[in-house]
Structure 1
Amino acid sequence: MTNPAHPLDSPADPFAVARTAAADIARLTGVSSHDIAVTLGSGWGKSADLIGETVAEIDATDVTGFSKPAVAGHGGTLRSVRTPDGKNVLVIAARTHYYEGHGVRRVVHSVRTAAATGAKTMVLTNGAGGIKDAWAPGQPVLISDHINLTADSPLEGATFIDVTDLYSSRLRDIARQVDASLDEGVYCQFRGPQYETPAEVRMASAIGGHIVGMSTALEAIAAREAGMEVLGFSLITNLAAGISPTPLSHAEVIEAGQAAEGRISQLLADVIGRI
């Protein structure tokens, strides 16, 4: 249930809360603004050490509006990293998932805060299930588009934004300059927290999906609303239900992420270095 005392609860202005959070980050890190933001999903955590020099790392719960992660294995920090060419990167290891039941405002608060710090590029990463038979656990893929199956949106009121090219083709081209073998697919965000049934996976495939998970789409919409350019990466941590010969488990997701962490983290750091 939503805590009625939370700063993002209605009638609060979520963008004002994001500006307050950005001011908190500037005060706590000593970095007045950021150029790029990256949200680290399962398996992507080590990239923060490879992007550049860590200027400051803070507990996300010290920043207005941020919540403590609800799942073991998910981080809870915000880090300001300076790249070798002098860009400031806000590394978000403090994702709030839709299935936690706190409402969409809290799900997308990190993205809106990143925009309020000045970031123009939002890199969203996740661990997810793969539908394509050719994909194997531990494989990173680019997100080319998404299907939002949450029946929800971060947009409030009569707010109309174009999401035709939500996942930037320019940024995907940069990623392929780093690794020409990168495949891509359409990400389907389900509500969770249960994993998808085989029938739901078949449905996702039938409507054009290739990746199934429980994050990212709502955040990407909020990033576009904020005027950010979006790059999305999924780590295929498992084959989706009905494709995988074994039952799905959260432990499997964490294990696959840990096994691939070094390789995909270097990939992500190299891509960010070229943005």
Structure 2
Amino acid sequence: MDNNTIIKSVEYIRGITDIVPKIGIILGSGLGEIAEDIENKIIIKYSDIPNMPISTVKGHAGQFVIGEFSGKNVIIMQGRFHYYEGNSMELLALPIYIMKYLGVENLIVTNAAGGVNTNFVPGDLMLIKDHINFVFNNPLIGKNHEKIGSRFPDMSCAYSEKLIDIAKEVSNNLNINIKEGVYLMMTGPCYETPAEIRMIRILGGDAVGMSTVPEVIAANHCNLEVLGISCITNMAAGILNKPLDHAEVMEISYKVKDNFKKLINDIVGEI
């Protein structure tokens, strides 16, 4: 990622607001409603920001929301970009670097995912303790800019143990039964086959989705603390005798939104 590309995007945002967000939040499919609770909010459409791609998926509003949430200055991605939309892996990292340059220190990444672990049920929330990059591509391929991060960033603790502990404590206080597991990213946009799901289970994946991993790699590259939360919106192919569709993802996301909002609100308050 070219440093000048990031700076142009950041300068545009700073020309609109002087708020310095310390926490970034990426909202996945059907989870965007939390942005409605932001106070003193400023909305900036991705399409207005230099160099930014445009989100094309239903359930993704396609905008930054900057303001106050649970007493903290935050920047929220209400909708994200995906590899399957034709974006390069490098471009998927751009919003993360923008948030870093704006002042973000902690990043909460959420997604809608398919449950691979047969102990999960639709509606479960899963803390991501690690991930598997099954896309066989990486947003850091190409020239490295030392102003952003190291050529060879460490990924042994890609998801912050400190933030995971906070999330566990918050979930206990709220009586929300939260799971933990490994998230595996596939390219999409088609859902996985039953054979692929069996393979993912053998490899150690508990949930599967089409996002998150490039963002987390970029966040580690620029030294952000990361918390990942998956909303298990459906059981993956072959577990239940039913076809998969995006409408189900949106429906389950809507059903769990209250617990999800409470969880994120209290986590942000404790960071």
TM over 0.5: yes
SS class of match (1:262): helix
1:117 aligns with 2:102: yes
SS class of match (2:256): helix
The alpha carbon displacement at 1:44 in A equals 2.0
SS class of match (2:215): helix
1:108 aligned residue: 93
Residue 230 and residue 213 in structure 1: after superposition, are their counterparts in 2 closer, same or farther (change >3 A)? Answer: same
1:137 aligned residue: 122
1:257 aligns with 2:253: yes
1:68 aligns with 2:54: yes
Distance across 2 between alignment mates of 1:47 and 1:54: 14
1:8 aligned residue: none
1:49 aligned residue: 36
The alpha carbon displacement at 1:79 in A equals 0.6
Distance across 2 between alignment mates of 1:235 and 1:15: 33
Could you report, residue by residue, the CA deviation over 1:19-55 in whole angstroms, capped at 9, with x for unpaired residues? 2212211222x234221111100232122234x4133
1:128 aligned residue: 113
Residue 71 and residue 55 in structure 1: after superposition, are their counterparts in 2 closer, same or farther (change >3 A)? Answer: closer
Distance across 1 between alignment mates of 2:34 and 2:252: 16
1:163 aligns with 2:155: yes
SS class of match (2:15): helix
Which one is further off, 64-73 or 214-223?
Answer: 64-73
Q: Structure 1-normalised TM-score?
A: 0.90
Match of 2:27 among 8, 28, 40: 40
2:14 aligned residue: 26
Is the 2:27–2:111 contact (alpha carbons within 8 Å) kept by the matching residues of 1? Answer: yes
Distance across 1 between alignment mates of 2:70 and 2:244: 40
Distance across 1 between alignment mates of 2:3 and 2:62: 22
Consecutive unaligned residues of structure 1, counting only runs of 5 or more, are 1-12
Consecutive unaligned residues of structure 2, counting only runs of 5 or more, are 145-150
Instruction: Give me the identity figure in percent.
Output: 38
Distance across 1 between alignment mates of 2:131 and 2:203: 11
2:182 aligned residue: 186
Count of residue correspondences: 260
1:268 aligned residue: 264
Distance across 2 between alignment mates of 1:75 and 1:167: 26
1:173 aligns with 2:169: no
Letter in 2 for 1:131: V
Letter in 1 for 2:159: Y
Could you report, residue by residue, the CA deviation over 1:178-221 in whole angstroms, capped at 9, with x for unpaired residues? 11332110000001111011111111110111010000011100
Match of 2:73 among 74, 80, 88: 88
Letter in 2 for 1:62: D
Distance across 2 between alignment mates of 1:34 and 1:26: 11
The alpha carbon displacement at 1:84 in A equals 4.7
Which one is further off, 161-170 or 172-181?
Answer: 172-181
1:219 aligns with 2:215: yes
Is the 2:125–2:229 contact (alpha carbons within 8 Å) kept by the matching residues of 1? Answer: yes
Distance across 2 between alignment mates of 1:261 and 1:18: 32
1:147 aligned residue: 132
SS class of match (1:46): helix
Q: Structure 2-normalised TM-score?
A: 0.91
